[in-house]
Chain A
């Protein structure tokens, strides 16, 4: 009866068709009838939406073996046909061996770049995944307001650590602390960072040992050392039972080596030199002191309790944290180990753990290498279209013999996938070499091509193979298969080997190469600019000693170094330009603003050569200077619009008044990582100093460093902890520059070479088809030059369009990219772009002209002679 109604709701058509498609015919009537009945019932009771939803659900649930019909698998006679394809393909490869090998080589270089970029990416996103229990490990973090923003810490106070042991759903609590110090063996001292852990550490975290067993951690007298430390200390790996003395802050600890770690992967957040029981850690027994920080890991097997655990910790902290006036209770949260390093890099989590590489270092190589591969694919497409003109007859005959269009497509696609396969096989050793070179760029990089047991990598390779095969061979296959055999065989077909797509591909190739070439030139110039730029403080003559939590070293070291005639100036400091600064909120005449601060000792200004342009420097004989005098930078004076800055008052924390006694010239307080900001400098007492800065002459820096090391050794009987030349601040910026420079130069030149090769082979292939034309033109009296001009005309336009669009793109993209990385950089100018345009044009015109000229100069008789 419902059937009579017009506009009656019907079951969803697609799913009805789907049912018809998969359902066995003998079951179709029964099942379709039933589903229709259910649909109509639901329609009446619950409306059309519900009915359709139920219908879809029913259909999907019918997709089961007992319902699905037997699909006939089309039988092929693959061996005969494939043999034929193979034979024809190899004959063609042999005929075009120059172009095929050019393609294979450029494709394999592109593929190798992609493989390395992928490995680098994979390395970075699989941080910490070697831990078998990664999914149940969490770190207690807290975030606290500091100045104007929140800072995250991967640390937990000792009472929190104690408290979490009592929580019901927490399975294990692992405490991890790190200390510096040195290890003494006989009379030799070595710098080492010691990790102190609870005995369950190795049960939870997966760090395989090559000798010894993990149970020894419960013994306070034993130590497990890393593979590299074993080699450094003892020269071999057979070290079980050997003794060493660990010295930290004057405390000596005799330990026995009871284990050696296997090499720890560089994508592990926890990097260990030496590992011992946490009871050896100074002050570990003090559990009620909120200022004692360390890292606490929890294992929680049931993640549904996370929220409640987090809340319990927060409640405990709210009840018990001792607070200074105006301070807030930090917010505690659980940070899963999975992805911890990536989040730590993104949010700047402070703590002893390593963080992942910056995003730019993983994403930029992926993008650039994909571009290179794309250029290689384009070359492949262009050359195979151009060289296929010789295969038209083959296609015609295949079709006449009854070959289907699909079969021709299949034939050409398998050919191109085969070429890609060869390219991948060649690419693997190339990528191995590239990975080695890439690792050299940074000391801590160790990406590796592991072929066994890396299933994802094989999936990636397979995907890459299919993608490159289809991208590069797809268009030629489609294009060639569509011709009509009668036209091909009669010879009336006009085959255009430079079709519209070829033109587009060639144009974009040039645009991409322009982009990479311009980018590399920009980056090279920027590196030079940054190296010559004045940071505003000295980096060539100074040496920086960092005490690392041992401020008491300051006075004896200062006294000893004052006697060194080669050191001209000395200053202690809490902060140091390019190394450490702080931020604060201050008020001036009721208006609150943020300020960057450096806390320094007397003589700091002259030692690092900050220039005082007004007022006076600190005077250590005036005690008031320690309490309420400050120096400010020009930027602050400017932003406040002060005419006479001397004597202006800044109020800190609503209670401390500081008065400006002088103005210093602007300088980059954080090297080039941050722009110049309003800044103050305060003078502090020696008990807070972290650094000692010594000034000598530029040529003597290396030898004075050695002398200071010796002095430290005599004074404290241990290796110096951290000493660096002042040029370090520059190096930091240089390091990023060097990496980008090398990667960009490499990639840029590859891109340029590839598009030139592509261009060259396309032009020369195309010339073959125009030989007769050249001959006729010459017979009719054309000069060599005018023939060359006619032939060149086509390409010149492509070249011009490609280069113009490429330069426009680089003009827009590159400054943005640089802005992402640096705050101070040399934005490129039109001249540089112009320079790269000329360069590119010149090389292209040269390559092609030579080829064309040679063809044009040939004797027309030879060209026109028929067999």
Chain B
């Protein structure tokens, strides 16, 4: 594997999947990132990130039942795996280390 390095955008996607729980499919992730991070990303960019995360085994996915919406097409819902969560934690802790080293009084979050 091309290393378990987690890109900044990939991290955002993981966080979005985590917070959306059962409703984590393409459009919802895209919207959440737009609302929280104010980044207007395209579905294509999101697809690249999702497929790469899936390749790294940080995400798994399955199709839901078809509904009336979307012209009867099924959604693919993503869920975070165990290694995905630990990768996320690791990324967070790296950040925290930096922050504490910069300024002891700086409060993260």
Contacts and interface: CB of A to CB of B under 8 A. Distances in A.
Bound together: yes
Interface residues of A, number: 23
Given A38-B27, A38-B30, A33 B71 contact: yes
Interface string A65-78: 01100000000000
Contacts of B76: 30
A32 B47 CA distance: 12
B48 A64 contact: yes
Nearest to B77: A30
Given A30-B26, A30-B75, A33-B75, A58 B43 contact: yes
Interface in B38-80: 42-45, 47-48, 51, 63, 68-71, 73-76
A863 B31 CA distance: 86
Nearest to A29: B73
A61 B41 CA distance: 10
B26 A67 contact: no
Nearest to B67: A33
A588 B10 CA distance: 84
Contacts of A35: 43
Contacts of B68: 1, 3
Interface in A66-104: 66-67
B70 A61 contact: no
A66 B48 contact: yes
Contacts of B42: 57-58, 61-62
A36 B47 contact: no
Contacts of B30: 34, 38
B63 to A, nearest CB: 8
Contacts of A57: 42
A1 B69 CA distance: 8
B62 to A, nearest CB: 11
A31 interface: yes
Given A1-B68, A38-B27, A61-B42, A33 B74 contact: yes
B47 to A, nearest CB: 6
Contact of B43 (A1, A38, A41): A38
A562 interface: no
B73 A61 contact: no
Nearest to B61: A30
Contacts, number: 62
Given A1-B68, A29-B74, A66-B51, A34 B25 contact: yes
A57 B73 CA distance: 21
A37 B69 contact: yes
Interface in A17-37: 27, 29-37
A27 B73 CA distance: 12
Given A1-B68, A29-B73, A36-B71, A62 B44 contact: yes
Interface SS of A by simple majority: helix
B56 to A, nearest CB: 14
Contacts of B73: 29-30, 32-33, 36
Contacts of B75: 30, 33-34
B27 A61 contact: no
Contacts of A66: 47-48, 51
Chain B residues touching A, range = 20 to 34
A385 B107 CA distance: 85
Contacts of A38: 27, 30, 43
A40 B44 CA distance: 18
A61 B74 contact: no
Nearest to A1: B68
Interface string A712-751: 0000000000000000000000000000000000000000
A58 B44 contact: yes
Nearest to B74: A29
B71 A61 contact: no
Contact of B27 (A1, A34, A62, A63): A34
Interface string B7-39: 000000000000000000111001000000000
Given A37-B70, A58-B42, A31 B26 contact: yes
Q: Name the residue in B26, B43, B71, B76 with the highest tally of chain A Cβ atoms < 10 Å from its Cβ.
A: B43
B22 to A, nearest CB: 16
Contacts of B48: 64, 66
A254 to B, nearest CB: 68
A37 B67 CA distance: 12
A67 B47 contact: yes
B47 A31 contact: yes
Contacts of A27: 47
A110 to B, nearest CB: 48
Contacts of B43: 31, 34-35, 38, 58, 61-62
Contacts of A67: 44, 47
Contact of B47 (A29, A33, A62): A62
Interface in B70-97: 70-71, 73-76
B53 to A, nearest CB: 12
B26 A34 contact: yes
B71 A64 contact: no
Nearest to B48: A66
A169 B73 CA distance: 59
A33 B69 CA distance: 9
B46 to A, nearest CB: 9
A5 to B, nearest CB: 14
Nearest to B29: A34
Contacts of B27: 34, 37-38, 41
A586 to B, nearest CB: 68
A53 to B, nearest CB: 12
A853 to B, nearest CB: 74
Nearest to B31: A41
A61 B44 contact: yes
Looking at A27, A37, A40, the one whose CB has the most chain B CB atoms below 10 A away is A37
A605 B47 CA distance: 88
B8 to A, nearest CB: 19
Contacts of A30: 26, 63, 73-76
Given A30-B75, A30-B76, A66-B51, A36 B44 contact: no
A68 to B, nearest CB: 11
B70 A36 contact: yes
A358 B51 CA distance: 59
A57 B76 CA distance: 22
Contacts of A31: 26, 43, 47
B6 to A, nearest CB: 18
Contacts of A37: 27, 69-70
Interface of B: 25-27, 30, 42-45, 47-48, 51, 63, 68-71, 73-76
12 contacts: A29-B74, A30-B63, A30-B73, A33-B75, A34-B27, A34-B43, A34-B75, A58-B43, A62-B44, A63-B44, A67-B44, A67-B47
Given A29-B63, A37-B69, 20 more contacts: A27-B47, A29-B73, A29-B74, A30-B75, A31-B43, A34-B26, A34-B70, A35-B43, A36-B70, A36-B71, A37-B27, A41-B27, A57-B42, A58-B44, A61-B42, A62-B47, A63-B44, A64-B44, A66-B48, A67-B47
Of all A-B residue pairs in the complex, the 10 with the closest CB atoms, nearest first, are A61-B44, A33-B73, A61-B42, A34-B26, A33-B70, A62-B44, A30-B76, A37-B27, A58-B43, A34-B27
